[in-house]
Amino acid sequence: MYKLHCFSQSGNAYKVAFYLRAARLDWEPVFVDFMNGATRTPEWRQQHNEMGEVPVLEFGSRQLTQTGVILTYLADTHGQFGGADADQRLEILRWILFDNHKFTSYMATYRFLKSFGPSAPDPTLMAWLRGRLDAAFKVVNLHLAERDYMVGTGPTIADFSLCGYLFYPLEESDYELPERFAHIHAWRERLRQLPGWADPYDILPGARILPKW
C-alpha cells in the first residue's frame, strides 16, 4: 500500500491522489499540518523531504517527492497513463515541465496569496501573477482546441499534472474558466468523468479553510 503525505489544500498532492484512485491502487492519506508549519521543522525535513514540501509518496522503505517524479514512477511501475510510446513519453515530460514551471506554479502562488496568505496580497504582485497565469492558460487552452487530452487520445500523467488546482472552489482563486478558456473547461469536465475522480476536499485530509482575502 502507498502512503501519501498530504493535506487538503495541496493541488500537487491532489494530482497524485487522483492518479492513485484512477489507477485503482491501494493507498492511504497521511495528514501533514502544512498550514501550521509542520514541513518547516528540521525533524520533518530530515525524515520526509529536505525541500519541505508535500506530497511525499511512501512505500516500503522508499519515499519519493516532487509530483512529476511521483507520477512518472507510478506510470512506469503500473503501466497506466504513461503514454503509448517513447515519443509520447517525451511529450508528457514536456508538458509536466511546463506545468511545474508555469501553469501550476502561477496558479498555486496566486491562489495561496489570494486565500491563505498571512496578510492581504499586494495588488501589483497579484496583477503581475494574473498576467503570467493568463499567458500559461492561453498556451494550454490553444493546445486543447483540437484534442481531448494533453497527449495522445487518452488521459496521461500530463493531464493529472496540469489539472491539480482546477477542481478547487472558484472563490479560492476567482479565476473563471468557462468563458475565458473554453477548451480547458471542456477538458476539465472530461477529467471529472474518469473513474476515480473526486473533489479534493473529499479525498485529502485536513479541514477546509475559507479564503481570507
Number of DSSP helices (H) and strands (E) in the chain, helices first: 9, 4
CATH number at residue 64: 3.40.30.10
**Closest alpha carbon to 105 in 137, 149, 148, 145:** 137
| Residue 153 counted as domain residue | yes
Pairwise CA distance, residues 178 & 182, whole Å: 5
pLDDT digits (tens, 9 = 90+) for 166-210: 999 999 999 999 989 999 999 999 999 999 999 999 999 999 999
Query: Do 116 and 209 meet the contact criterion of CB atoms below 8 Å apart?
Result: yes
Same domain, 76 and 103: no
Q: By three-state DSSP, how is residue 30 classified? A: strand
Same domain, 150 and 77: no
CATH number at residue 118: 1.20.1050.10
pLDDT digits (tens, 9 = 90+) for 11-65: 999 999 999 999 999 999 999 999 999 999 999 999 999 999 999 999 999 999 9
Write out the residue range of the structural domain in which residue 172 sits: 86-192
Q: By three-state DSSP, how is residue 5 classified? A: strand
pTM (2 decimals)?
0.97
Same domain, 153 and 170: yes
94 to 68, 88, 103: CA distances (angstroms): 11, 10, 12
Pairwise CA distance, residues 69 & 41, whole Å: 23
Same domain, 108 and 137: yes
pLDDT digits (tens, 9 = 90+) for 72-91: 999 999 999 999 999 999 99
Query: Do 82 and 156 meet the contact criterion of CB atoms below 8 Å apart?
Result: yes
| Residue 209 counted as domain residue | no
Pairwise CA distance, residues 94 & 83, whole Å: 13
Residue 7 cell numbers, joined: 493535506
Residue 168 cell numbers, joined: 478547487
| Residue 162 counted as domain residue | yes
**Closest alpha carbon to 213 in 119, 133, 108, 129:** 119
